[in-house]
A and B are shown apart, each in its own frame.
Chain A
Amino acid sequence: MFKKTLVVAALSAAIVSGTAHAAAARDYISIVGSSTVYPFATVVAEQFGKTTKFKTPKIESTGSGGGLKLFCAGVGVEHPDITNASRRIKKSEQELCAKNGVKEIVEVKIGYDGIAVANTKAAPQMDLSRKDLYLALAKDVPNPQGGDNLVPNPYKTWKDVNASLPATKIEVLGPPPTSGTRDAFGELVMEHGCQEFGFIKAMKKTDKKAFQAACMGIREDGAYIEAGENDNLIVQKIEANPNALGIFGFSFLDQNGDKIQGSKIDGVTPTFDAIADGSYPVSRPLFFYVKKAHVGAVPGIADYLAEFTSDKAWGAEGYLSEKGLIPMPEAERKQFAHDAKAMTPMGAL
């Protein structure tokens, strides 16, 4: 028994010493970040691994905020080389990066992602405006009796919100506050919808905090159901419940078009073309950020960028569009491809 323990101790010592060696040099690219960009980045990574002499990059799905935190922790092989984000880097994050020695960051915008509000095909398609969605989902809404004050959301059915909508109960399944999709929904739909009311819009200048709370606060009385980060689950649930609407990424609508339909938002149905030409209002840009100090230290970063920014990947007919990424207009693609090739670091925000 004692001998065995000795053997084990020796073995674990060997493993640990081997580790020190492995940490000194990394031969694969380490990527972290957004779960929305994850399905696209992984396709590029796989293609990159297959067609080049480099190893397939490792991609962790940590969420945009979590990814940037890891990314900004420092320079060195133990820190990731690239982080994906479903929103732009924040000023505070850029400062954190700079504080830890990550001074030169290359920003690459990769395309757009639409957020769909959808229900089952068994029910009629909804035609919503952003104001309708705001009134149906906000925690506090302008007093329906008139007057410039906020009251707790009294609306029970869609008809209460807007007389032209059906008299079904308001029941919306969506992502929790930790999700980037929820952030984007708040910014693109709720904030836009609440500005239709003059007195809330006026608050933006006078009291930013109150404005944020009035616009972004989502009701907690059961009409909005937090369904977790798993978009497939939301799809399954709205399929089973004809009265419920779901909020999720466009690629899930694209894959399940036989079962669910996207609601019109401000009169536009979420389709690939409508998002690409910008007429569908609820779409957001996706990014990734590259640590310039790692280029050359970790093999293959420049080649990975070249693969990602090639037309066969992110072009109008590229393989990423097949996975549901909405490509940028050609001029914008050219600009970002050029910046990525030249490794032009982004300026301060």
Chain B
Amino acid sequence: MSEPDKSTARTIDIVEASLKRRYARERRFKLMGLGAVLLGLLFVTLLFFDIVSKGYTAFVQTHIALEVYFDPAVIDPDGKRDMAEIARADFRKIAREPLAKLFPEVTSRGDKRALYSMLSSGAPYQLSKMVMKEPGLIGTRQVVDLVADDDVDMVVKGNIDRNAPAADRRVNDQMIGWISKLEADGVVKKKFNTRFFTNGDSREPELAGIGGAAAGSFYTLLVTLLLSFPIGVAAAVYLEEFAPKNRWTDLIEVNINNLAAVPSIVFGLLGLAMFINLFGLPRSAPLVGGLVLTLMTLPTIIIAARASLKSVPPSIREAALGVGASKMQTVFHHVLPLAMPGMLTGTIIGMAQALGETAPLLMIGMVAFIVDIPGGPLDPSTVLPVQVYLWADSPERAFVERTSAAILVLLAFLIAMNTFAVIMRRRFERRW
């Protein structure tokens, strides 16, 4: 009898001796976990801080408010109000004249060139557009906020240091003097940068916008959604509800799971070989982009759709079959509606993934300079992440803030889509 007593005492001793160590281990593990989470959060915060602090200034653009005289002698010398004639008029002269008036001391040719370079090369088009819209302006004087050049914009926003030695900065003392005078006169205005959202790409940072890329992303995703959602759901329904379970369906399942892990550039190469070289579809078109991204998102959607079909309890199917519904009626009237929220969530996540993708589009020519905003899935276009990539590679200083601003817009879209997916799941998810 004394033997077991001895052994229990020993066990307790062992347990007590190691207890402290085990608690300490657990604490260490918890601390490490917490540390990992905090480190992750820190990096995300740093990333956001960096992007936001660089990018927020791009949402305003420097304008110079000048009193412009829409001189009929320049715009419409014949007085016929012929629109084609007016479009050809020299609006550069109209835009430059008030600036020359403000600085009458600038006379030499070189200095004048420098003075006029304070206005964006888009300023004359701005005036021309105004007149085309309202020919009544001809002959009047109007105070117009003209777009300033990107160098002026950078100085006003403080991205080019005015106090740096003259030789070291892009903008010379003379120009800084002019900017200071304009600022003292109160004509330098920072206005919300609507062009950034409506314009297509441009090599002049002050005129460049994400409108074209956003439209391209829209058409690309539209094609992707129209193709991948029905195909993905149909494939999932067939595999889950109708297909016999045999070696072939197993093989298909394994392949679908493997496809989800294929690097996206491979789909780009496939798209180039199939859609462009074999079918002769045009390069750089959102249609081809959409087709390639469909291939990429299909596995994601099929896997999500199958998971949500699986989560519908068999009792539902049995009940439907029990009251005399056919197999097809069971699936389409009962199972599919219940599984739909899960499928939609998977689709939205797949779409968000497709929105942020650049690598496969590289191969099919969507990494391109495109000024005109695409009007359909066949026009050449680019997409938002590609626009970010192209701007990040541009030498002009003002593109730095625009790159960050474009990233912000892209992130906003991604967060909105993911939030929508989360809300859908919360609202419609059923538990049995």
B256 proximal to A (CB < 8 A) = no
With contacts A8-B226, A15-B287, A258-B170 taken as known, whether A56 is within 8 angstroms of B372 at the C-beta atoms is yes
Asked whether A255 and B396 contact (CB < 8 A) given A5-B230, A12-B227, A55-B372, the answer is yes
Contacts of A8 in B (CB 8 A): 226-227, 230
Knowing A15-B377, A43-B203, A58-B284 touch, does A251 contact B368 (C-beta < 8 A)? no
B332 at the interface (CB under 8 A from A): yes
In whole angstroms, what is the CA distance A43 to B287 when docked? 27
Q: How far is the CA of A230 from the CA of B279 in the complex (A)?
A: 34
| Residue in A closest to B291 when the chains form the complex, CB atoms | A12
Using a Cβ–Cβ cut-off of 8 Å, how many residues does chain B contribute to the interface with A? 47
A74 to chain B, nearest CB (A): 11
Cβ contact within 8 Å between A39 and B380: no
Q: Does B336 contact A (CB under 8 A)?
A: yes
CB of B305, distance to nearest CB on chain A (Å): 13
- Count of chain A to chain B residue pairs whose CB atoms are closer than 8 Å in the complex: 116
Give the complex CA separation of A99 and B332 in angstroms: 57
Q: Give the interface centre of B125, B168, B284 by most chain A CB atoms within 10 Å.
A: B168
Chain A residues whose CB sits within 8 angstroms of the CB of B113 once the complex forms: 317
Looking across the interface, which residue of chain A has its beta carbon closest to that of B403?
Answer: A232
C-alpha spacing A140/B373, complex, angstroms: 52
Q: For residue A156, which residues in chain B have a CB less than 8 angstroms away from its CB? A: none
Q: Which of B17-25, B247-255, B387-395, B406-414 has 4 or more CB atoms under 8 Å from chain A?
A: B387-395
Please report the C-alpha to C-alpha distance between residue A39 and residue B226 in the assembled complex, in whole angstroms: 36
Secondary structure call for the A interface: helix
Give the residues in chain B near A5, CB-CB below 8 Å: 230, 234
Q: Closest A-chain residue to B393, C-beta based?
A: A230
The reply on A343 being an interface residue by CB < 8 A is: no
> B98-121: contact bitstring with A at CB < 8 Å (1 yes, 0 no)?
000000000000000100000001
Residue of B nearest to A11 (CB): B226
Which residues of the other chain, B, contact A255 by a CB distance below 8 angstroms? 170, 395-397
Contacting pair B378 A19 (CB below 8 A): yes
Q: Is A22 an interface residue (CB 8 A)?
A: yes
Closest chain B residue to A60, Cβ basis: B368
**Complex-state Cα separation, A58 to B169, whole angstroms:** 33
Is B356 an interface residue, CB under 8 A from the partner?
A: no
A61 interface residue per 8 A CB criterion: yes
Q: Is the CB of B202 within 8 A of A46?
A: yes
Cβ of B168 to closest chain A Cβ, rounded Å: 4
Q: State whether B227 touches A1 (Cβ < 8 A).
A: no
- In the complex, A34→B401 CA distance in Å? 25
Q: Tell me whether B394 and A39 are in contact (CB under 8 A).
A: yes
Q: Is there contact, CB below 8 Å, between B227 and A59?
A: no
B380 in contact with A28 (CB, 8 Å): yes
Q: A78-B280, A258-B170 are in contact. Are A232 and B368 (CB under 8 A)?
A: no
Q: With a CB–CB cut-off of 8 A, which chain B residues contact A19?
A: 281-282, 285, 287, 378
Cβ–Cβ < 8 Å partners of B368 in chain A:
58-61
- Are the C-beta atoms of B284 and A60 separated by less than 8 Å? yes
Query: Does B160 count as interface, using CB distance less than 8 angstroms?
Result: yes
B125 and A257 contacting across the interface, CB-CB below 8 Å:
no
B161 interface hit (Cβ, 8 Å) = yes
* Interface flag for A160 (CB, 8 Å): no
Digitize B280-310: 1 where CB-to-A-CB distance is under 8 Å, 0 elsewhere. Answer: 1111110100000000000000000000000
Query: In the assembly, what is the distance between CA of A60 and CA of B390, in Å?
Result: 10
Contacts of B280 in A (CB 8 A): 20, 23, 78
- Which residues of chain A come closer than 8 Å to B51, judged between CB atoms? none
Tell me whether A38 is interfacial, beta carbon within 8 Å: yes
Please measure, in the bound complex, the distance between the C-alpha atom of A49 and the C-alpha atom of B202, giving whole angstroms: 11
Of chain A, the residue at the smallest CB distance from B110 is A317
Knowing A61-B367, A258-B161 touch, does A232 contact B378 (C-beta < 8 A)? no
A18 partner residues in chain B, CB cutoff 8 A: 378
User: Is B370 in contact with chain A by the CB < 8 A criterion?
Assistant: yes
B164 and A258 within 8 A (CB): yes
Question: How distant is B200 from chain A, measured CB to nearest CB, in Å?
Answer: 8
Which residues of A162-177 have CB atoms within 8 Å of chain B's CB atoms? none
Beyond A22-B285, A43-B203, 11 additional contacts (C-beta under 8 Å) are A8-B227, A23-B282, A28-B372, A56-B372, A58-B370, A232-B392, A232-B400, A255-B397, A319-B121, A323-B395, A324-B395
Task: Please report B residues at the A interface, Cβ cutoff 8 Å.
Answer: 113, 121, 125, 160-161, 164, 167-170, 202-204, 223, 226-227, 230, 234, 276, 279-285, 287, 332, 336, 365, 367-372, 377-378, 380, 390, 392-397, 400
> Which 9 A-B pairs give the minimum distances between C-beta atoms?
A56-B371, A59-B369, A60-B368, A258-B168, A42-B369, A58-B380, A258-B169, A43-B203, A251-B395
| CB-defined A-B contacts under 8 Å, sample of 28 | A1-B336, A5-B230, A15-B378, A16-B279, A16-B281, A19-B282, A23-B280, A23-B281, A39-B394, A45-B369, A46-B204, A55-B372, A58-B368, A58-B380, A59-B368, A59-B369, A60-B367, A61-B369, A230-B392, A231-B393, A232-B395, A251-B395, A255-B397, A257-B167, A257-B169, A257-B170, A319-B121, A323-B203
